Amino acid sequence: MQMNHWNKSKEELINELNILIEKHESLKESYQMGLTEISERKIFEAEILKAKNEAEKANLAKSEFLSSMSHEIRTPMNAILGYSELLESTFVNPTQKNYLESIRSSGRTLLTLINDILDLSKIEAGKLQLELDFINTKTFFSDFEKVFAFKVSEKKLRYITEISDSTPAFLYLDGMRLRQIIINLIGNAVKFTVKGEILFRVYAENPRESSRREDMVNLIIEVKDTGIGIPEKYQEEIFKSFIQVQGKTAHHGTGLGLAISQKLIRLMNGNILVRSKPDKGSSFTLTIPNVPFKSEHEEIMQDISIDPNEIVFEKAVILVVDDVEENRKFIREVLKSTALTVLEADNGENAFELIAQNLPQLVIADIYMPGLSGFDLLMRIRENPDLKNIPVIAYTAAAMKEQKEKIHNNNFDGLLMKPVQISELYIMLMNHLAFRSSQQYSSEISGKLLPSRDEIKDLPRLISVLDGPLSHTSKSLTHIQPLAKVKDFGESIIVAGIEHNSASLIKYGNELIESVDSFNIAVMLELIRGYQRMVDDLRK
């Protein structure tokens, strides 16, 4: 009995052992499968990482290519547009003037094209960000008629602007990008309309969402024409890059305007709707939803324009550093009739030697030069105690946002983008060099504008304030007028006026700031010179 029991137990043990072996084989197989899966997953992850790195390298290469292309195109454009502007005042013959205008027009077209390509690249890379601010709808939308006045008149078309009363006085938008879109649409309408009219219509509607806010509207902009129209089968194609539609067929070309416009509108969460029939005209409708608005808004003037012929610089020495001779020559030619002495250097090493020898009042330096770059030159100047206070302006064709940020972060004293206009160059110089206006102006700043002594709080203390640091600032501003410092001076005067209950001081400060914002140099200089007369009248 015991032997049978032992044999039975042995069989059971063998069965259990077999079961364990089967489980082991199964676990071994699962383990091997798991190892295979892990290995395959690692390979897959490595492939994804490799593809990601390759994509990032491709994007970087694309950005570098676009940056290089922008720089290489902008550099010769600096000479083409710059010298065209200089020649404009010397040509008398109408035929020559027409030739010159053709050169300038073609140059601006090429510049627009490179800007469009850069914009398209930024949008596709997700790097373009909207810059929002309040726009004055009345002036903003009315200006387009002036922009296209010549072309409309030349083609004998009728241009109609309709701005509905429903449009709020101030809208919170990216004005520069919206302007870019509208110019593209109106430009196409004028281009493809032989006879008839262009209608530009703007109106606003309340948002229809149930959760709508009372301080938001939907902005609708329509551009209609009586032009050649667009066949239905091409009405989607026109929003693709490098596609143009003319007549009844699609033509490949540099058609980036509508492609960029559509992408920009989508960034604004809006859309473009097109309706068109061949030979009947086209209608483009922009809708931008939920745009914040205000009925009133304090505006700051952004557009600055001057007449260089009215600006007289005092004697000073400036140094222009650029490895391209034409870029140096352009600035020298612009300033040859002024009292400014223009020194030149074709590289950073020579520039630093000239700076140490001549101590110029201003340096205008290209950023990307062989050898010592503009960034390195700036660093050397700032590290030298005898030179560190000399203003250095970046002079570059680099248009990418990252490059501009690098220039800003390196604390240059200003930025001139190639191609630079003569007025832009003058404005930059006026920020750092002494000048006067050839225009005569009398601001009638006198004691009679000031309130009586009884209306002013603590007159002795006010005179002390005006005779102190403010007086030193006013004297320095009679020699050199950095615009930012003039505005700070005006704001300080306003603070003193408020503290001491002087309405005329407040008025003076506001007039000074307004003269800077509107770039009325004659008024600004006369107000600065009138400061000491105000203090003397108070003292009397």
- In three state form, how does the secondary structure of 146-185 look? HHCHHHHHHCCCEEEEEECCCCCCEEEECHHHHHHHHHHH
Which spans in 308-409 are helix H?
325-334, 348-358, 374-383, 401-409
CA nearest neighbour of 322 among 182, 416, 408, 227: 416
Average pLDDT over residues 307-330: 87
CA distances from 481 to 197, 307, 316, 430, 494 (A): 48, 17, 14, 7, 19
464-480 burial: b if 16+ Cβ within 10 Å, else e: ebbeeebeebbeebeeb
Q: 460-512: per-residue pLDDT in tens?
A: 888 888 888 888 888 888 766 777 788 888 888 888 888 888 877 888 888 88
CA distance 238 to 248: 12
> Residue 284: what pLDDT?
94
Judge whether 133-294 and 308-432 match in fold: no
Structural domain boundaries in the chain: 133-294, 308-432, 439-539
The region of weakest confidence among 69-78, 190-199, 255-264, 358-367 is 69-78
Share of the chain above pLDDT 90, in %: 17
Percent helix, strand and coil across the chain, each to the nearest 5: 55, 15, 30
- What is the pTM (predicted TM-score) of this model? 0.49
3-state SS class at 195 = coil
CA distance 46 to 319: 54
> Residue 449: what pLDDT?
44
Average pLDDT over residues 84-92: 72
CA nearest neighbour of 426 among 514, 300, 312, 301: 312
3-state SS class at 255 = coil
Q: 28-63: per-residue pLDDT in tens?
A: 676 677 667 677 777 777 777 777 777 667 766 766
Average pLDDT over residues 218-241: 84
**Which tokens is 480 given?**
């050199």
208 pLDDT band, cuts 50/70/90, is low
Which spans in 280-373 are helix H?
325-334, 348-358
Instruction: Please count the helices (runs of H) and the strands (runs of E) in the chain.
Output: 17, 16
Mean pLDDT of the chain: 78
> Residue 126: what pLDDT?
66
Residue 115 confidence (pLDDT) above 80: no
Q: Cis (ω within 30 of 0) for the bond into 419?
A: yes
Average pLDDT over residues 143-171: 86
> Residue 10: what pLDDT?
65
Residue 349 confidence (pLDDT) above 80: yes
Average pLDDT over residues 217-240: 85
CA nearest neighbour of 377 among 347, 343, 415, 346: 347
State which of 72-86, 380-394, 413-427 shows the largest mean pLDDT: 380-394
CA distances from 288 to 132, 212, 240, 385 (A): 14, 14, 21, 54
Residue 370 confidence (pLDDT) above 60: yes
DSSP class of residue 314 equals P
CA distance 424 to 331: 12
Q: 117-131: per-residue pLDDT in tens?
A: 676 666 666 667 787
SS (H, E, C) 57-72: HHHHHHHHHHHHHHHH
> Residue 62: what pLDDT?
65
The region of weakest confidence among 262-266, 367-371, 517-521 is 517-521
CA distance 329 to 342: 10
Question: Do the bridges between strand 316-321 and strand 362-366 make them parallel or antiparallel, or are there none, so unpaired?
Answer: parallel
Better pLDDT: 66 or 374: 374
Judge contact between 252 and 244, C-beta under 8 A: yes
Q: 392-438: per-residue pLDDT in tens?
A: 998 887 655 566 677 777 778 888 888 788 888 888 888 788 877 66
Average pLDDT over residues 172-179: 87
SS (H, E, C) 110-138: HHHHHHHHHHHHHHHCCCCCCCCEEEEHH
Q: 274-294: per-residue pLDDT in tens?
A: 998 888 899 999 999 999 888
519 pLDDT band, cuts 50/70/90, is low
Q: 64-74: per-residue pLDDT in tens?
A: 666 666 666 77
146 pLDDT band, cuts 50/70/90, is confident
Judge contact between 286 and 262, C-beta under 8 A: no
270 pLDDT band, cuts 50/70/90, is very high
CA distance 366 to 231: 49
SS (H, E, C) 70-99: HHHHHHHHHHHHHHHHHHHCCCCCHHHHHH
> Residue 109: what pLDDT?
65
381 pLDDT band, cuts 50/70/90, is very high
Superfamily of domain 308-432: Response regulator (3.40.50.2300)
Average pLDDT over residues 434-458: 55
Tokens 């602007």 -> residue: 161
* Other beta carbons within 10 Å of 253: 11
> Residue 247: what pLDDT?
47
> Residue 326: what pLDDT?
85
DSSP class of residue 413 equals S
Where does 133-294 sit in CATH, by number? 3.30.565.10
142: exposed, middle or buried (C-beta count within 10 Å: 0-12, 13-18, 19+)? middle
Strands (E), 147-301: 158-163, 170-173, 197-205, 216-225, 243-246, 249-252, 271-277, 281-294
Residue 354 confidence (pLDDT) above 50: yes
CA distance 152 to 145: 9
3-state SS class at 17 = helix
223 pLDDT band, cuts 50/70/90, is very high
> Residue 442: what pLDDT?
44
CA nearest neighbour of 233 among 276, 185, 178: 276
Judge contact between 170 and 294, C-beta under 8 A: yes
Residue 525 confidence (pLDDT) above 50: yes
